């Protein structure tokens, strides 16, 4: 009875068909094998890396066709030059300018308009306080001047 074998995609050694991992290198044998893909420059579909033409649109994949790319200003990923939005983060690519929608926020506290009216009572009270303060200071200065004059013998001249 012949035992079925499978070839390891990493190292090429033969393993039993019922094994899930390679006995030589430990690579996964069963299940989907991850293969390299190429993006079509015309339609953007994924194709196997060894294909020369796109399976969806028939465009040439490798060789003379050079795919021009644009770098996303937000995340730095490479995108086709004709794309308007980044495939990774969705940012706008046109012109290299990222347009971020503005977010209008409501104020945290509802502010009420308060009407301010001048109160004449406050104004008159302030005026009288300043007047009385200046009279008190002037009176104190006058008394100091009189005491100094009397102490040194100065008198007021009669008949200004």
Does residue 47 sit in helix, strand or coil?
strand
For residue range 111-142, what is the model confidence (pLDDT) as tens digits?
Answer: 778 787 777 777 888 899 999 999 999 999 99
Q: Which two tokens stand for residue 82?
A: 């004709």
Lowest-confidence range among 15-24, 95-104, 138-147? 95-104
Closest CA to 77 of 65, 68, 66, 86: 86
Angstrom distance (rounded) from CA 100 to CA 128 = 60
- The pTM (predicted TM-score) of the whole model is 0.25
Angstrom distance (rounded) from CA 76 to CA 88 = 9
């Amino acid at each position: 009875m012949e035992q079925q074998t499978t070839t390891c995609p990493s190292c090429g050694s033969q393993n039993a068909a019922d094994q899930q991992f390679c006995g030589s290198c430990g690579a996964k044998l069963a299940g989907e094998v991850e293969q390299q893909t190429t993006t079509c420059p015309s339609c953007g579909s994924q194709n196997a890396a060894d294909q020369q033409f796109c399976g969806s649109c028939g465009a040439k994949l490798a060789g003379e066709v050079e795919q021009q790319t644009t770098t996303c200003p937000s995340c730095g990923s490479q995108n086709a030059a004709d794309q308007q939005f980044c495939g990774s983060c969705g940012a706008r690519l046109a012109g290299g300018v990222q347009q971020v929608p503005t977010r209008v926020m409501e104020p945290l506290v509802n502010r009420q308009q308060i009407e301010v009216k001048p109160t004449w009572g406050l104004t008159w009270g302030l005026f009288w306080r300043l007047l009385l303060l200046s009279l008190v200071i002037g009176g104190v200065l006058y008394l100091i001047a009189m005491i100094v004059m009397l102490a040194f013998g100065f008198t007021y001249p009669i008949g200004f």
